[in-house]
Every structure is written in C-alpha cells, then in structure tokens.
Amino acid sequence: MSLLFEPYTIKNLTLDNRIVMSPMCMYSATEEGVVTDWHLVHYGARAAGGVGLMILEATAVESRGRISPRDLGLWDDRHMEGLKKIVDFAHEQGCKVGIQLAHAGRKAELEEEIIAPSAIAFDEGWKLPREMSPEDIQAVVKAFGQAARRAREIGFDVIELHAAHGYLLNEFLSPLSNQRTDEYGGSLDNRFRIVKEVIQEVRSEWPVDYPLFARISAVDYVPEGQEKQGITIEDSIQIASMMHEAGVDLIDVSSGAVLPVRPPSIYPGFQVQYAEQIKKETGIPTAAVGLITTPEQGEEIIGNERADLVLLGRELLRDPQWVLRVRHGKQMTYEGPEQYRRAFR
C-alpha cells in the first residue's frame, strides 16, 4: 500500500490521501475580488485530478489586504457565490477544500493606502505602509473572523491562516519587520499577540471540530553581515506550540520572504527539514511544501514521519492529473472521474 494514498483524519475531516494542492495565487479575480471562470476551470481540474485536499489561493480579508488588485477576496458577502461554486463542484468529485485567509500588509501592491506593523517598506521602490494603530489591528482581527464565518457558510472543510512569506501576520512575528514598542512589538509573546487574537476570533466563527491550519515561514533568510536577527527554527518551534495552544491543528511549514532575499540553497524538498523538526519537537501535525515533485519524495516524507501531509504547488500547475497518473503507475484501483476512466485502463 502506498503511504501517500493512506487516508488522513484530522478533527472531523478525513482526506482520501495525503496529497494536498498548495495555495497558489492566480491573480485572476475581478478588481472587486470575485471569482472568475478561470478559477472555476483551474480549481475544478485539480479537484477532478484526485488530490485529497485543495487549498485555495491567498484570499484577502480586507480590500487593502490584497497582494494585487486581482486577488480573491472574502471581505464581503458578494464574494461567497463564486467560491461556493468551486467548493460544491470539488465536493462532487470527492475532494475536500480549504481556503487560505490572508492579509498582505506591506507587500500589498495597490493604489490604496496599505498598512503594516511598522512604517517600513518591503524593499527599495516599494510603497511605504502606514504603521497600524490599535484600532487598525482590531479591525483586521475582526475581518479574519468575518471571513471565517463566510467560509463556514460556504462549506469549506479547512481554513488556513497565512502567517508566512512576509505578509501581515508574518510581519508582526518577525523582528525584521516589526519594530513596535507597544504590546504588539518587542518580545516574541508580544509579536505573537495579533496572531493569537486572529486565531481566537476565527475560532469563534469556525467550529472547534473543524480543522484550522496555519502556514508559517520557519526561518527568515537574513543576509550575511546584517546585525538584526530574524525568525529562527527555534522561534518557529515556539510559535507552532503557541498557535496550537490557541486553536491551530496543523502547521504548514514554508520559509522566508519577509525580506527580498532568496534562500541560500534551493533543492528538492529543501523546506521539509523544518516541517520535520517542528513535528518532532512539538508533536503537532505538519505539512511539508517546497519543490516536491515526485511520488518517491512524498513516500519518503510520509514514511519517515517527517510530515503528515505533502503539499504540491507548481507540479500540479504542470499536471492537474498528477495524482491519477501516480495511482495508475502504482497499478492502484482507479478513483477519479468516470469521464476519464478510459485513460487509465
């Protein structure tokens, strides 16, 4: 039996296999953040392709929290209809669906005013954000909660909080982007405060038996010679534990992007080590992501208990039927759309 194709249960949710489509921005929504035909076709193809769970792209909880003007949104009820079409079709295919709730913070590339923990631009030539007031912070916390309510009403199976890649929640966590002197800055406990408040607010709208994931950047890649230290794996082990205590069930482990620098070394599965270390140090379920392209990689990750789920990104852009093809190669029973059965005889 392939370990990749073993079911996985977390809270009230059972996935048919351990393969998850990683959230990837499509930059194809209307300028109001509404689903377009592109999303219906794109996500429909991957749902029909057999992944156990499909996590939709970063979806903004505020208009000013979009990464781009063409990001999906869930800050208004008008966003719900299109998202429900995706969820309903995926469920018809036996695919579970998650949504990644996000706020871009200082990395929002928008005409409107943008906000961040501190008034520090992401990089030279980027827009300068306004430092968030306590009222701004509470507005964002409430926005995450209302987006979670809409996600529940739509019928999503999982919510993932985006606290990675240099976006707002990650900006608060990292001392490289958070230089506040109030209760939301300074110590790790203080920098975590907004994340805890978001988790609690989301949990007030998202039933306790429904899985809540969080994506984190396990390490900040700080350029050599820079004095100020960013997040380390030791910090992330602590952050994961704090998230779990606040109500998160699984940590989706990525890395970097709070600074405009690349990881010092990129190779297949280069981030799996962080998911493995967090899982082993805390006992919290993790998901591994990052240049995972082959079933052999996935089997090794699951078989050696380095993570509980394997997230594929670009590979599923290249091949929507990756899962069906792997099952066919392993001579496993066909489990896909009846319309495609003839291709896998």
Scan for tokens 């940590």, then name that residue: 251
Under a CB-based contact definition with an 8 Å cutoff, are residues 101 and 151 in contact?
yes
What single string gives the DSSP state of each residue in 138-184? HHHHHHHHHHHHHHHHHT-SEEEEEE-TTSHHHHHH-TTT----STT
Question: What is the reported pLDDT for 232?
Answer: 95
Mean pLDDT, rounded, of the chain: 96
Question: What is the reported pLDDT for 227?
Answer: 67
d(CA 99, CA 177): 26
Which residues in the chain land under pLDDT 70?
1, 225, 227
Question: What is the reported pLDDT for 163?
Answer: 98
Q: Where are the domains of the chain?
A: 3-344
Maximum separation of any 2 CA atoms in the chain, in Å:
64
Question: What is the reported pLDDT for 322?
Answer: 97
Q: List own/partner pairs for 171-174 with CB under 8 A and 24 or more apart.
A: 171/105, 171/106, 171/116, 171/117, 171/258, 172/117, 173/216, 173/231, 173/239, 174/217, 174/220, 174/230, 174/231, 174/258
Classify domain 3-344 at the CATH superfamily level. Answer: Aldolase class I (3.20.20.70)
Tens-place pLDDT, residues 216-272: 999 999 877 676 789 999 999 999 999 999 999 999 999 999 999 999 899 999 999
Contacting residues for 307 by C-beta, under 8 A, at least 6 apart: 253, 272, 275, 276, 279, 286, 287, 288, 301
Predicted structure pTM score:
0.97
